[in-house]
Amino acid sequence: MTGAGSILAINLVVAGLLAASFVMIAIFDRMRTAPRWLAFCYALGMSSYAVEALVPLTVDSRYIVTLSFGLVLAAMVAFNVGVARKYAVSAPWWLMAAVFLLSILAVFLSQDLPRHSFERMMIYQAPYSIMQAIAVGLILSPPKRRMIDWAFTVLLCLSSLHFLAKPFIAHALGGWGTNPQAYLQTSYAMISMGLGTIFGIGVALMTLVVLVHGLLLDLTMKSETDTLSGLLNRRGFEQRAARALSGAAGQRMPVSLVIADLDHFKSINDNYGHAMGDRVIAAFAGFLRNVADDHHVAGRIGGEEFAIILPGANLAAARLFAEGARGAFAAISIDGFPKDRRFTASFGVAELAQGENISELLVRADAALYAAKDEGRDCVRIARPSRIRPSLRSAS
């Protein structure tokens, strides 16, 4: 077996392993279709390698070369659909269909061109580059991207460019064989397949990392999210709030905490049932999400108790926020209850003091909340300033 033939066999096995890996992810995460498309992509890749291995055995290779090319391009289409599903954007079906059909026709007709013509080689490689560039566009479509998405983008850009470089490499090495049957015997075949293997495995592994990273983020989010309200649970809230406090301290900006508790919640459960009580909790959580900004941290930290961190807000601004929320919530109606039935909440507000942590801030805001309850409910009370002295805290 030639060196190129060995690489072809390795590619076949690797494509099978990658297809199996994406199948396993698809089984684990049945709610998302991205892993299924990616598994289909590498299954098509296996088929293309198997067909390519048959080229030396054929007399008229026009059809089998076109078939091998088409399978690889179809695999790249499936890859792009998987990427689109992962990043929750629309797959450009019409664009990919046009590139696919025109490329199949062009490659079939290009078999009549001289074997070593630059145009023929570019016709064969350019569609791969275009398909990879489409994947780059899909990743760049969402407004927000993480560092891992930028790394994925850079790798796909390099992969796209390497396809365009292949005709120049072939020209420098004297072409890709006197005929298709001799292709696997050429130095270009070994270099081309080697580059393809490097970029193919690199892209596949990065795709796996992106998918697994997304799964871990989802699992973390689920473990930190309260099912009923859709807000952070107490564990998630305290972790996110601690990070928000640290960030605010680093930027020397004020940060405040608002705690809210639904008034007379026990009577709601007693008079209307727990299902209706859950509806009130869900309604207040939805209301809190609507009034909160993107940089705020909101959570359900108890049965009917909620908290929200306001980075950049001092005590006066936080109190205004709480008063506005109190008045607005008291004015809304909740489905399933009498139209004239209104619900209220009590609020406690505290501003972070120097040297204070999230637990201590929660204690002070909670004390203000109890003061609001004791003074008749449906009101806002502010916490007393912290008596913690920074020098003593640092010594402890």
Q: So what's the pLDDT on residue 366?
A: 92
Q: So what's the pLDDT on residue 65?
A: 81
User: 103-117, 187-201, 331-345: which has the minimum mean pLDDT?
Assistant: 187-201
Average pLDDT, the chain: 84
How far apart CA 177 and CA 266 sit, in angstroms, is: 83
Burial 43-68 (b: 16+ CB within 10 A, else e): bbbbbbbebbbebbeeeebeebbbbb
Residues 263-292: tens digit of each pLDDT: 999 999 888 899 999 999 999 998 888 888
Residues 14-23: tens digit of each pLDDT: 677 787 888 7
Q: So what's the pLDDT on residue 394?
A: 35
Residues 209-232: tens digit of each pLDDT: 998 888 888 877 778 888 888 899
Residues 123-145: tens digit of each pLDDT: 989 999 999 999 999 999 988 88
Q: So what's the pLDDT on residue 365?
A: 93
Task: Report which of residues 163 and 355 the model is more confident about.
Answer: 163
DSSP 316-369: HHHHHHHHHHHHHHHH---TTS-TT----EEEEEEEPPTT--HHHHHHHHHHHH
35 has pLDDT over 80: yes
Q: So what's the pLDDT on residue 57?
A: 57
245 has pLDDT over 90: no
How far apart CA 193 and CA 5 sit, in angstroms, is: 9
Total H helices, total E strands in the chain: 13, 5
